[in-house]
C-alpha cells in the first residue's frame, strides 16, 4: 500500500533517525492530489471501498530510504468548520451542538471543532499520526476533534494517550443502497463515531515531549485565556 510521492517541500515535523517527515498539504496542489490518491488506494485495498476524500488538508507522513524515492507511509485528513456540516455528523442521533454541550457541559461553537478522517497507514507509521493529529488540531486552536474510527483504531487511541469519547456506533442508515455498496466492507469493522477532547491530551503531550521538532512555525493568538485580557507590554 506504500505509494511513491512527489517531494512535499519542507517538513512540518521530523521524527527519529529514519527521517520520517510530516507535512500539512492543502489543495490545489500536486502534494494534496498524491495524498488523496494514497487514501483512495488504501480504502480500496483494505475495504474494497471506492471513496473520494476531500478534506480541507491532509497531514502526510513520508519516508525516504537510501536508493528509493520518497514514499507516503501514513495520511489523515482534517476538515475545519463547514456550513455543509461534517461527514461524521450523519451518524449522530442529535445535532452536533447538542452533543458537544452534553460532553463539555457548556456550549461549544462549531468553529472549535475539527473533523479528522481518511486515515490510512502502512506498518507502524500510523502510530505517529495517531499521536500527531490531536497535537496539530490543538495547535490550530481547536477544542474537539470529531472522528469515526474502526473498532481496532478506536481501541488503540487510549493506548497512545488520545482520549476518545464514544458517541455510538456509526451506522450507514442514511445511505442509499448504491452509496453503501461503494463503501465495501468498511462498516463490517464496527466503526464508532466519537470526540477527542483536546483539553485532555496532557498525557499525550507529556509522552511526546522531546519526540518531535516543528519547523516553519507561525503562531497567532486565537483567543484570550478565560478571565484574562492580553495587554501590550510597556
Domains in the chain, number: 1
Mean pLDDT per 10-residue segment, the chain (234 residues): 38 55 93 97 97 96 85 96 86 96 95 96 87 95 97 93 96 94 97 98 93 79 63 51
Domain, as residue range, for 34: 3-208
Q: pTM for this one?
A: 0.86
Contact 111, 193 (CB under 8 A): no
| Residue 218 pLDDT | 74
Domain CATH code at residue 121 = 3.40.630.30
Q: Would 136 be classed as within a structural domain?
A: yes
- C-alpha closest to that of 74 among 5, 159, 162, 141: 5
Q: Would 215 be classed as within a structural domain?
A: no
Q: How far apart are CA 147 and CA 114, in angstroms?
A: 9
| Residue 124 pLDDT | 76
Amino acid at each position: 500500500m506504500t505509494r511513491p510521492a512527489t517531494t512535499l517541500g519542507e517538513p512540518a515535523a521530523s521524527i527519529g533517525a529514519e527521517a520520517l517527515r510530516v507535512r500539512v498539504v492543502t489543495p490545489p496542489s500536486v502534494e494534496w492530489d498524491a495524498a488523496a490518491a494514497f487514501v483512495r488506494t488504501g480504502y480500496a485495498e483494505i475495504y474494497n471501498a471506492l471513496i473520494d476524500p476531500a478534506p480541507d488538508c491532509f497531514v502526510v507522513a513520508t519516508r525516504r530510504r537510501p536508493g528509493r524515492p520518497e514514499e507516503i507511509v501514513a495520511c489523515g485528513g482534517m476538515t475545519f468548520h463547514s456550513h455543509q456540516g461534517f461527514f461524521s455528523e450523519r451518524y449522530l442521533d442529535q445535532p452536533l451542538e447538542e452533543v458537544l454541550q452534553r460532553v463539555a457541559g457548556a456550549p461549544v461553537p462549531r468553529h472549535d471543532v475539527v473533523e479528522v478522517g481518511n486515515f490510512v497507514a502502512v506498518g507502524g507509521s500510523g502510530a505517529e499520526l495517531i499521536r500527531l493529529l490531536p497535537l496539530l488540531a490543538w495547535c490550530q486552536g481547536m477544542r474537539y476533534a470529531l472522528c469515526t474510527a474502526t473498532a481496532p483504531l478506536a481501541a488503540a487511541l487510549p493506548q497512545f494517550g488520545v482520549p476518545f469519547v464514544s458517541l455510538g456506533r456509526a451506522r450507514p442508515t442514511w445511505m442509499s443502497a448504491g452509496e453503501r455498496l461503494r463503501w465495501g466492507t468498511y462498516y463490517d469493522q464496527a466503526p464508532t463515531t466519537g470526540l477527542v477532547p483536546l483539553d485532555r491530551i496532557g498525557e499525550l503531550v507529556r509522552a511526546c515531549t522531546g519526540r518531535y521538532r516543528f519547523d516553519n512555525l507561525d503562531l497567532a493568538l486565537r483567543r484570550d485565556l478565560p478571565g484574562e485580557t492580553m495587554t501590550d507590554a510597556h
